Structure 1
Amino acid sequence: MRLNVTALAAATLTLAGCTLDYNITMTPNGGTLHRETTVSSEIEPLEISELTDAFGSPTQSKSPQGVNSSKTTLTFQGDGLGHDWGNGFGGRGNWEMIDSPIGTAHCFLECLGGDTHIADDLLALQDGIDAVDSLIRRQLREAFQGDKLLPKMLTLLRQRIVPDAKDLGMMAWALMFAQQALPPESRKGGDSNRMQEELEERVREGAIAFLWQREWITTDEAALLSADPDAMNDLANKILARALGMDMKGDWHSRFSAFQEQFDDAFPKDFDKEIIRAFTKAVGEHSRLAVAWAATTQFFTSRDVNFRLNADSKPAMTNGRWNQSLKAVEWELSTAPLAVGITAPPLCWSAIWAEPNATAQDSILGHVGVKGEDLAKFCLAWNTSGPKQRKAVQDVLNSFARARSGADEIKPEAADLLGECMRIMMP
């Protein structure tokens, strides 16, 4: 890695870029699930450790990535997953079959990030930034020993860059939260990208306010950036040279270029890994924060997270996307799953299938009238009801059955039956 001067001012963003894949495939097997989790071997060690704790040691393999390259992947297997299991990403999953008097439901649930202690994590973030600051200071002292710019660099770090980085970290967290809360089609720039465009505009406005009010840029430069945000590319070196107290008269570009070359050479190629190690050690038990830091500071590294739940039929209810050709429900993420709750709002994925009990419904209604979403909701309500509620519901079902088979041949409506039962179970 070449850690240049501009990167330091931007809180040491890691510039190495690639795509890290997370592919999770789940296949029902009666009352349990088989789960296969395949991930890029380059994901954070903390992520691999969490997956190993949940599913045991992985198998390693190579898959083609390009003409002359391949990608190493790790695959974790989980069998017999039923009621309430750890998903290897700090979350919980559940797969269960729910029997009721009029049908059966199969319910899948997986949640991430709901138990993140975000207040503590954001406080620990400050400690992590301090640790990175100490590491950079040590490296600068070694590389610039005796240089007249060294005191200015250390002062700039202590008085401006680090305090601003701490504030920027909090702002960045709020921004990531907001961006991840947008509908997926908005984030991808599709037809419904108005919210994404508005968010990006607010970010540009916020960046100008941040830089101007903290005196990184002049009034004239703030006005320029408000009209042409791309001008930042041309202003970046000037801003940092001025902050370092360089003589801005004459050919300051040459002086700054010489300094930048010396600065680049001061940091080893793997300095980004040292930064992550220092941050991880400082935040201690806040493992999700460490993963979130790595995920967000690796600026050009993207994460492609795909969850797939195989099924024979489309679910009655789901917040996922049904893929008819693959016969699967799909969900996706663009952040490290272990970092959800910090880099993105907590999430809960669900899919519910409902299978009517034709014999029971025929005796009650004379036909199968409660199915699909209505049956799914009935089964879920039945599952959370107590003995008294269940007895009352059974009495209602029996009364409908007696009415249908009586001398008057009453033909009960499914909506009436469902409404009366749901009022008992969900008062």
Structure 2
Amino acid sequence: MSASHYVDVARAFQSRADAPSWLQALREEGLSQFQARGLPTSKDEEWKYTPVATLSSHPFQPVRDVSAGEDVAQAVARLALPGPRLVFVDGRFVPALSVLAGLPRGVVLKPLSQALREDGALLQETLGQRARPSAHAFTSLNAALLEEGALLTLAPRALSEVPVQLLFLARGGDGPVLASPRIVVVAGEGSEATLVETYAGLGSGATFTNAVTEVSLGDNASLRHFKLQAEGDTALHLGGLYSRQGRDSRFQSHAFSFGGQLSRNEVHAAFAGEGGECVLNGLFVGRGTQHLDNRTDLDHAVPHCSSRELYKGVLDDRARGTFHGKIRVREDAQKTDASQQSRNLLLSEGAQVDARPQLEIFADDVKCAHGTAVGRLDDNALFYLRSRGIPKVDAERMLTQAFASELVRAVPEGPVRARVEALLAEKLPGTAEVMG
């Protein structure tokens, strides 16, 4: 399908969607930006390595209603974490399977459709401020179809010790399904929380998830954000995370990309106050003909901030992965301390990876470093293990797991790490035995 298909979809949605004037203006801006840009192609530098033409293979459409059958209930039972959660199927909220009990005082979680009715003043100030419709075509499309997702707010000094989960299930229906969730996080001064976005597939229906997350951290606030993407091998997934940090705030992003025929995960982080700390971690594991694209953009706009970034890829068969990361240190951002690393493991002759870490430094009193590495399993290490009676397949599995474990162990012990380990074990058979 061409861009005109999505224009028609957005127009039809906007013609029937009831909304206050500010929200309708945001939707119309998204549609206008999308019309002006059209779908990106390989000639666009930012999309050079992303096979966007895949999106033209099906006439994706949003669904109006979903039924939560036994398959959905079983998936939720398997994927749900202890604590509060919102569940969505093909982009639609499923209240019967969601849990809001256990939210601590000062922490509010609600579906975006409800928040648009109840929290209009807050959302008018925050929606589209970090993820602007002009960012790129798919952020524009998400804005044009903005209706559902989640709002998480933390009052000043609120503390949520139990992770909050957003569970998105892509099932597909009678035709190819488009889901456009928008997640908004507003963390007040001194607050702290953990947010887990989980994306999983049900069945073999054609699905396209176009997700956008906006995070605003107040002074001295802290947020751990986990994204677990394990949709079906035929799914298409594009996700963008946009964060803005206040003074002395701490933000961690841990992105695990395991599923999808095409998956693109973007993180755009910006410091707006001195003393901030940011960690961007990512692990992508692909096999078959999967394409897993990862892009980061970290803006050091103020002095005395630090960032650490580590992305790893494991690719087998004819899978292809990319990592393009940029750290920008502005002229006034003295005393910046930033590092960025990309490390990649190829398990077959047909696997490919494109890695390009970048630094743009306009200040002179900084400490910055970046690097990349691409390689195969170490022959000496394989020989060492095999010389001790370990079969070749088990030795290769052990070394592969050891390569990935650094990022798994960056997740604190608990239900989130257990879920990551389970997903990795599904992707790399035998990993559970090795990790145990």
TM-score, normalised with respect to structure 1: 0.20
- Larger gyration radius, structure 1 or structure 2: 1
Structure in which a larger fraction of residues adopt strand:
2
Q: Which has the higher contact order (CA 8 A, sep 6+)?
A: 1
